[in-house]
């Protein structure tokens, strides 16, 4: 028997599955503990779904399940001890849900899913159960594929729900869906058609959660605005913040003000530079380095302290010198990195240890200079709508290319750099997510003052791209989003990209090209469903895809 099985990300071994150790660095024990945590979350959901029928919400459980899903996202958390603690907590949550159900007059008849009652306290028992219950035990590959597609969508959804929660925004309807879907993926009576429906429904809630997060971000920090972000360095010591969480960003900026420590963003935190509430801080120094997987180089040169608020963590190399300068918080974790505890009683997180640490560090070594421009989220682009529509009507802009999503290590991802370079000069790239680092520093120029790369923000800001597309549809008086001069050439890596993809499908977007490889968790039949109903396609080579996408 395999030591583990995981095929949730684009870099999965041989594009089939990691069975010995994760290519991401996830060890089999952590992989199995993550599987077990998912198994228990499904078990807890069997009770909460019934509780909800009685009108009862348990906020602590909603939060627990959301956080647990998020923690199992690729590259978020590698810390075995955190998963063991969480599994022990899951038993308590499950007991609490069961007791509440019975005391409210509900019943648990018919709950046969083992995760709703299994308990094993030793690590060995946990590992064994995880292997006995992991995804390979669903034998039918199409059912397995649709179940996992749903669960990965839920993981992405959970990430966005947690960021919104941190800003004081939540919707019980979203938690309700997540938990119902966790139950549905354990239901052996659901057939391929019904599960396909569940996948699409997941996309619908994906739109809802991204709208919620957009509201949370923009109400808290203002609408992103066009901003030139510095890529160089200053002379003070610095803290480099990575991940996606804006509440952490806010608290870090407040707590570092006047300390002589500058704050820089890395990878997916770059869009924090576009928010008015953050731009006002003089010690917010810009962006340092590139997308997540460059961290092994970037962190080495940064010299200061690094804070991970979420994925994507890469285990440091044996020869690296920065491990003791890295901190995690929230859903992220890594054995050997220090962890900053969650907020308690409405108080901010305490970043003082990190700030004191940073003061003792050397200032960052310059690895590049200059600026990049971003901040083209929906509000800003819609404010420019007249110019954009004019440019399309006069033919100055022939087509938009949505090239959002994730970056990754695979060599073939040079495709996206080459694609951006070869795009005709009368085309504009719309982007969100860390995929942009493949081309956002290229001199691609402008069209009538409109940059040829419009960065809307983080992966969750793909919602902005949808809002932009809807506004353009209206401006052009079209009935169908697919009649717009927009082509989709999206890169994926982890599960947030899965929820973004499902959200686009649920909005009726067709003919999305997805690369650099199609997900290993899509069975051939499921791929066929996606091809036949949505025109989904993989990528081939730059010239051919360019021809296809330009003529579509």
Please report how close the Cβ of residue 102 comes to ligand SF3 at its closest, in angstroms. 41
Q: How many other β-carbons are positioned within 10 Å of the β-carbon of residue 3?
A: 15
Instruction: Choose among ligand SF3, ligand SF4, none what residue 496 binds, the Cβ cut-off being 5 to 8 Å by kind.
Output: ligand SF3
Beta-sheet strand order (sheet of 284-287): 284-287, 262-265, 238-242, 305-308, 326-329, 338-340
Alpha helices, H only, 185-294: 192-221, 246-256, 276-279
Q: Per CB under 6 A, does 12 bind ligand SF4?
A: yes
Q: 28 vs 433, which CB is nearer to ligand SF3? A: 433
311 scored as a contact of ligand SF3 (CB under 6 A): yes
Span interacting with ligand SF3, options 41-49, 87-95, 103-111, 491-499, rule CB under 6 A: 491-499
* Least distance from ligand SF3 to the Cβ atom of residue 494, Å: 5
Q: Which of the stretches 22-30, 89-97, 202-210, 311-319 binds ligand SF4 when contact is defined by CB under 6 A? A: 22-30
Q: What stretches of 2-71 show up as alpha helix (H) in DSSP? A: 28-53, 59-71
- Pick what 433 binds: ligand SF3, ligand SF4, none; C-beta below 5 to 8 Å, kind-dependent: ligand SF3
Burial class (CB within 10 angstroms; exposed 0-12, middle 13-18, buried 19+) of 122: exposed
* Residue 72 in the binding site for ligand SF4 (CB under 6 A): no
| Residue 461 site contact among ligand SF4, ligand SF3, none (CB < 5 to 8 Å, cut-off depends on kind) | none
What's the CA gap between 296 and 343, in Å, rounded?
A: 29
Among 1, 2, 11, 361, binds ligand SF4 (CB under 6 A): 11
Of 1, 2, 9, 540, the one binding ligand SF4 by CB under 6 A: 9
Residue choice 14, 16, 24, 310 for contact with ligand SF4 (CB under 6 A): 24
Measured from the CB atom, is 305 or 459 closer to ligand SF3? 459
Bond before 293 cis per omega within 30 degrees: no
Nearest approach in angstroms of CB 493 to ligand SF3 is 4
Answer yes or no whether residue 8 interacts with ligand SF4 by CB under 6 A.
yes
Q: Is 18 in the site for ligand SF4 (CB under 6 A)?
A: yes
Dihedral sign, CA of 540, 544, 549, 552? negative
What mask, x for binding ligand SF4 by CB under 6 A, covers residues 467 to 486?
--------------------
Using the structure block, give the residue that is written with the tokens 């704050």.
263
Determine if 312 is a binding residue for ligand SF3 (CB under 6 A). Answer: yes
- Minimum distance between the CB of residue 18 and ligand SF4, rounded to whole angstroms? 3
The distance from CA 531 to its chain's CA centroid, rounded to whole angstroms, is 24
Q: How many angstroms separate the first and last alpha carbons of the chain?
A: 47
Angle made by CA atoms 329, 334, 340, in degrees to the nearest 5: 25
Contact call for residue 68 and ligand SF4 (CB under 6 A)? no
The verdict on 519 binding ligand SF3 (CB under 6 A) reads no
# residues near ligand SF3 by CB under 6 A: 15
Whole-number Å distance between alpha carbons of 90 and 121: 11
Nearest CA to 427 out of 541, 552, 539, 274 is that of: 552
Q: Does 358 bind ligand SF3 (CB under 6 A)?
A: no
DSSP string, 482-525: GGSSEEEEEE--SHHHHHHHHHHHHTT---EEEESS--TTS-HH
C-alpha to C-alpha distance for 325 and 52, rounded to whole angstroms: 44
Exposure string for 408-434, b = 16+ CB within 10 A, e = fewer: bebeebebbebbbeebeeebbbbbbbb
Distance CA 369, CA 360 (A): 24
Per CB under 6 A, does 238 bind ligand SF3? no
Residue 26 interacting entry, from ligand SF3, ligand SF4, none, C-beta within 5 to 8 Å by type: ligand SF4
**Under rule CB under 6 A, residue 7 binds ligand SF4:** yes
Are the CB atoms for 404 and 430 separated by under 8 Å?
yes
By C-alpha distance, which of 376, 455, 379, 346 is closest to 218?
Answer: 379
CA–CA distance, 37 with 44 (Å, rounded to integer): 10
Based on CB atoms, which residue is closest to ligand SF4, 434 or 546? Answer: 434
Q: How far is the CB of 217 from ligand SF3 (least distance, A)?
A: 14
Instruction: From 11-19, 120-128, 263-271, 326-334, give the range in contact with ligand SF4 by CB under 6 A.
Output: 11-19
Nearer to ligand SF3 among residue 184 and residue 407 (C-beta): 407
Is 351 among the residues that bind ligand SF3 (CB under 6 A)?
no
497 binds ligand SF3 (CB under 6 A): yes
Binding site residues, ligand SF3, CB under 6 A: 244, 267-268, 292, 311-312, 406, 433-434, 458-459, 493-494, 496-497
Contact set with ligand SF4 (CB under 6 A):
6-9, 11-12, 18, 22-24, 26, 31, 74
């Amino acid at each position: 028997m395999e030591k583990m099985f995981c095929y949730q990300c684009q870099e999965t071994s041989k594009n089939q599955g990691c069975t010995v150790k994760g290519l991401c660095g996830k060890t089999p024990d952590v992989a199995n503990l993550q599987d077990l945590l998912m198994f228990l979350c499904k078990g807890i959901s069997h009770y909460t779904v019934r509780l909800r029928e009685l009108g009862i919400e348990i906020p602590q459980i909603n939060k627990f399940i959301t956080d647990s899903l998020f923690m199992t996202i690729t590259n978020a958390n590698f810390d075995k001890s955190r998963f063991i603690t969480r599994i022990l907590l899951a038993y308590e949550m499950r007991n609490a849900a069961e007791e509440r159900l019975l005391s409210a007059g509900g019943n648990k008849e018919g709950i046969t899913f083992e995760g709703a009652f299994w308990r094993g306290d030793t690590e060995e028992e946990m590992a064994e159960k995880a292997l006995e219950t992991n995804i390979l035990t669903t034998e039918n590959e199409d059912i397995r594929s649709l179940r996992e597609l749903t669960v990965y969508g839920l993981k992405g959804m959970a990430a966005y729900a947690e960021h919104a929660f941190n800003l004081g925004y939540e919707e019980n309807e979203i938690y309700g869906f997540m938990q119902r879907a966790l139950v549905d993926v354990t239901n052996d009576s659901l057939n391929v058609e019904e599960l396909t429906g569940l996948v699409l429904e997941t996309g619908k809630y994906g739109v809802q959660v991204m709208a919620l997060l957009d509201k949370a971000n923009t109400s808290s920090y203002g609408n992103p605005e066009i901003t030139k972000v510095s890529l160089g360095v200053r002379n003070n010591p610095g803290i480099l913040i990575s991940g996606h969480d804006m509440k952490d960003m806010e608290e870090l900026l407040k707590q570092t003000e006047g300390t002589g420590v500058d704050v820089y963003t890395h990878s997916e935190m770059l869009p924090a530079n576009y928010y008015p509430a953050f731009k006002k801080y003089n010690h917010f120094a810009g962006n340092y380095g590139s997308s997540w997987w460059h961290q092994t180089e970037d962190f080495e040169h940064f010299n200061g302290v690094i804070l991970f608020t979420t994925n994507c963590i890469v285990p440091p190399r044996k020869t690296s010198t920065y491990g003791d300068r890295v901190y995690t918080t929230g859903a992220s974790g890594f054995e050997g990195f220090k962890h900053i505890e969650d907020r308690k009683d409405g108080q901010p997180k305490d970043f003082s240890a990190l700030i004191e640490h940073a003061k003792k560090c050397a200032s960052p070594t310059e690895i590049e200079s200059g600026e990049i421009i971003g901040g083209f989220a929906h509000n800003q682009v819609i404010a420019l709508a007249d110019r954009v529509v004019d440019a399309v009507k006069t033919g100055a802009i022939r087509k938009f290319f949505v090239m959002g999503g994730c970056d990754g290590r695979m060599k073939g991802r040079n495709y996206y750099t080459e694609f951006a370079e070869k795009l005709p000069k009368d085309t504009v790239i719309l982007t969100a997510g860390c995929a942009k680092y493949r081309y956002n520093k290229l001199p691609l120029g402008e069209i009538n003052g409109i940059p040829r790369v419009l960065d809307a923000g983080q992966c969750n800001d793909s919602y902005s791209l949808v809002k932009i597309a809807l506004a353009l549809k209206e401006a052009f008086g079209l009935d169908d989003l697919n009649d717009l001069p927009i082509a989709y050439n999206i890169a994926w890596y982890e599960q947030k990209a899965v929820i973004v993809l499902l959200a686009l499908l649920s909005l009726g977007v067709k003919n999305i090209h997805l690369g650099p490889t199609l997900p290993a968790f899509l069975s051939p039949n499921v791929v066929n469903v996606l091809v036949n109903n949505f025109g989904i396609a993989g990528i081939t080579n730059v010239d051919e895809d360019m021809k296809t996408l330009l003529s579509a």
